[in-house]
Amino acid sequence: MTGFGSMLRDYLEYYKISQTDFADRLGISQKHMNEIINGKTKISPELMILISLLTNIDVNLILLAEQRKDTYNRLIKEYKTEKEINKMLHSYYLNDIVKKNWLKLKQPSSFVQNYLDLIEYLGIKDTNSINNYLNKRFLFKKADSNADNLKIYLWIKHCDNVIKDIDVNKYDSSKLDDLIKELELERMKKFNVSSLIKIFNKYGIILYVEDALPGSKVRGCVKVMINTPVIYMTTYMKEKSSFYYTLYHELIHLKKDYNKLKNKTIIEEDNTEDDTDNSALECMIPIAIYNEIISNYNNKEIICKKNNIPLCFLYTRLAKEGRISYTSKEYRKNIEKI
C-alpha cells in the first residue's frame, strides 16, 4: 500500500507534470520524491500542507491516505496475514456492534478501514492500549474476564455516542433526595422509560437505557462527564424490581462518589457491595416498613400501597430472603416484567 503516493502519481500524470518538476517545486530531492510516490517514506506535516497548497488536494485527504498506509503496515507487521487481522477484529465483536447499528463500517471489504472505524468507535489510540485504559478508567468486578469487560465498554461507548448532544438542567447534589422521593411516585406506575428519563433530566442527570451485547451481565453504570452525572441502564433481568434496584445503586454511588466518578466509571453487575446493597434495599422498602409488613403480613398490600411500594418490590425481596419461593404462585403473580 503506497498511501498518498499513488494518488499523487495519478495527479501528476493527469496534469502532465513530471515528478522531477514537482520535486523542484516542493524543494525536495528526486530521491525523496520517488520515495513519496512509492510509499517508502513518511510525509511530514509541513510537506503535506505544501503539497495541498500546490495541488489543491485537501490536506485531510493526504493525511487519511497516509494513515491508512501506516495502519496497513503496522497490522501486517503485527498479525502477518489478513486472516489473522480479521480474527483480531472479530475479537472486538465487530460483527455484533455492526449488527446492532452501533457502528457503520465505511468500507466493509477493507480490513484497514474496518480497523480505523473500530478505533474511532473505541475512542482510543490503538487496540493494544485498550486493557490498560479499561483498568485505569473503569471499576469492574475483579472476577470479570477481559472479554466481558470489553463487551461492557462497547456498550458504554454506544451509550456515550447516543447521549452526547443531550442537554439537561444543572446538577445539584442537594436535590438528589428530592429525586429519590419523586421516584417513589413514579415506581407505582406502569414501567415507562421515557417518563424516568424526563424525571432524571429535570434533576440534571442523563439517563439512558440500552441493552448490552449478548452474554453480558451488566445491569448499569454511573459516571460524571465534567459535572453532569450520567447513568446507563440495561433491562438485563427483565423485571421492574431488578431495574429499580440497580437504579438506586447508581444513585447511591452518585451520592457517595461524585468526585471519584469524574475519573472512574462504576459498573453494576451481579456482585455484592454490602453497604450499597443495603442502601438500595432501603430506598425500595425502608427496613422499618419491611418489618411492619412481616409483622402484619395479612395487611401487606395495604401497607405497601400506603407507602408507595410496588408489590413486585416486596415479593422479590421475600423471595431473595427465602421467605417465599421464586416458583411460588404469589411471586409469579406479582412480579412485573419490563
Q: What is the pLDDT of residues 220-252, one digit of tens each?
A: 999 999 999 999 999 998 999 999 999 999 999
- Contact (CB, 8 A) for 106 and 119: no
The pLDDT of residue 30 is above 60: yes
Q: How many helices (H) and strands (E) does the chain have?
A: 18, 5
pLDDT digits (tens, 9 = 90+) for 302-326: 999 999 999 999 999 999 999 999 9
Q: Which three cell numbers stand for residue 338?
A: 419490563
**Which candidate, 158, 240, 162, places its Cα nearest to that of 196?**
240
3-state secondary structure of 88: helix
Question: For residue 293, what pLDDT band results from cuts at 50, 70 and 90?
Answer: very high
**Looking at the domain covering 4-79, what would its CATH class be?**
mainly alpha
Predicted TM-score (pTM) of this structure: 0.92
The domain ranges of the chain are 4-79, 81-122, 130-274, 285-338
- Contact (CB, 8 A) for 309 and 281: no
